[in-house]
A and B are shown apart, each in its own frame.
Chain A
């Protein structure tokens, strides 16, 4: 089964990796931040090496987002994301896992899960998931 992992974050400034830009990370010691980064890199190595990682991408600052609405045939383009919220989607991963529990385990190991959330959504179009 393939899952989309959405990295939700509320950073002070936008950058990569996003979890280092959060107020929580800013309050940590240098060693704590380094350990967090190491955990993240280990996770990346693990899911690449296992063949579970399908694709991943960091998103640009929501400041650069444009939302396009068409009403009565008229196109209206506004600056900013569709949902105005403190937390914004900062990036996504597509993983192909044996079980939903494994997808949740991977999600829980993103540092972002400690600060905002990592949302796990199964992708449509796959085969029926077995019990």
Chain B
């Protein structure tokens, strides 16, 4: 029996082996998908081969050669390339590229899929397909777009990678940290998409949060000493831990302060806390570690009232220096209000209101409403909750904000 996890973790290794052999990422990716489809059709009938990966590589190779033969001139060129010394055997090994070649392949593939020439949407699609082993149809469902649109994004991404001349080799050691940051950002985006997506049609949607955690775990195995990889995994686990309590039986959104903490996943909390604690003591500080540390403070508080807001405030101050942005400032305003009172938090918001984009964003008004409510200004709080509910595009969030306004 082949588990889903094993099945999909093999995907990047099959693609890696094919790209190494034939030096054509685009065709190798197609061929690996075809081999996976062939396996899905044949294995249940004929049984799982002794070495599933070797089987997939063999079938993929055959498909790839067929594709190459369809254009004879191209085939000659590819074969000539394939017999050359691989370019990556000529450069010094990167510190990020130690270990077995299969593991290198997965990391190399991730870095290639998150190539800076691609848009974030293209990076996400390509990563989920080539590294995550999802089909184009599954990815299209997950992002609620037609399959043709997603197929277009994926083939354009592959074309752009080809056009930049990027090849299937590990980037220069100096470039790896920056490129790795892009990979982590893509995994983070996949996670938040799954975390915030409306639950309406969950039936046909791939669980993107689980997929993001699975891929981040894979990266963590490859780079056990990278603090930000550990920080991102910890952040995901500490956020995912609260998932059972985030929605009520009626499907309504439950804010952190009102969640039933006995429903949190304690195994995820333990693992997340251990990961971030280890990373903070042992590696260079980074924004994911700080965000995970904040999540850990919340997850470890026995009740909302017992939250260590001074620590949260200090951590948001640190995060604002490491990775400044309006969302961080908004969150710091909440923490500041909890420590020094709502007036101090509202003063921070006043600065953000000058930015046109932020001024029209529902989160600013939701936070303002919350702080006004704390300050006892019911009338203004209701106005802000209603404005926030009009500005959001998330249906569960809109319902929640309207309920808050009505409760005042």
* B and A form one assembly: yes
Residue numbers of A with Cβ under 8 A of B are 1-2, 48-51, 53-55, 96, 98, 100, 122-131
Contact A98 B200 (CB under 8 A): no
A-B interface contact total, Cβ < 8 Å = 72
The B contact surface, by secondary structure, is helix
Q: How far is the CB of A11 from chain B (nearest CB, A)?
A: 29
Query: Which residues of B lie under 8 Å from residue A51 when comparing CB positions?
Result: 121-122, 125, 149-150, 152-154, 156
Q: How far is the CB of B144 from chain A (nearest CB, A)?
A: 7
Out of A1, A48, A126, A131, which one reaches B361, CB within 8 Å?
Answer: A131
The A contact surface, by secondary structure, is loop
Query: Which residues of B lie under 8 Å from residue A55 when comparing CB positions?
Result: 146
Report the separation of the CA atoms of residues A96 and B149 in the bound assembly, to the nearest whole angstrom: 10
Give the residues from 304 to 337 in chain B that come closer than 8 angstroms, CB to CB, to chain A.
325-327
Report the separation of the CA atoms of residues A51 and B140 in the bound assembly, to the nearest whole angstrom: 11
> Which of A1, A53, A126 has the most chain B CB atoms inside 10 A of its CB?
A126
Query: Which residues of A lie under 8 Å from residue B200 when comparing CB positions?
Result: 125
> Does B192 sit at the interface, judged by CB under 8 A?
yes
Query: A124's closest neighbor in chain B, by CB?
Result: B393
> Does B363 sit at the interface, judged by CB under 8 A?
yes
Give the residues from 143 to 197 in chain B that come closer than 8 angstroms, CB to CB, to chain A.
143-146, 149-150, 152-154, 156, 192-193, 196-197
Out of B125, B358, B394, which one reaches A131, CB within 8 Å?
Answer: B358
Query: B397's closest neighbor in chain A, by CB?
Result: A128
> Does B198 sit at the interface, judged by CB under 8 A?
yes
Query: Which residues of A lie under 8 Å from residue B394 when comparing CB positions?
Result: 124-128
Contact B120 A131 (CB under 8 A): no
Query: Which residues of B lie under 8 Å from residue A128 when comparing CB positions?
Result: 196, 363, 392-394, 397
Contact A49 B152 (CB under 8 A): yes
Query: Which residues of B lie under 8 Å from residue A124 when comparing CB positions?
Result: 393-395, 398
Q: How far is the CB of B153 from chain A (nearest CB, A)?
A: 3
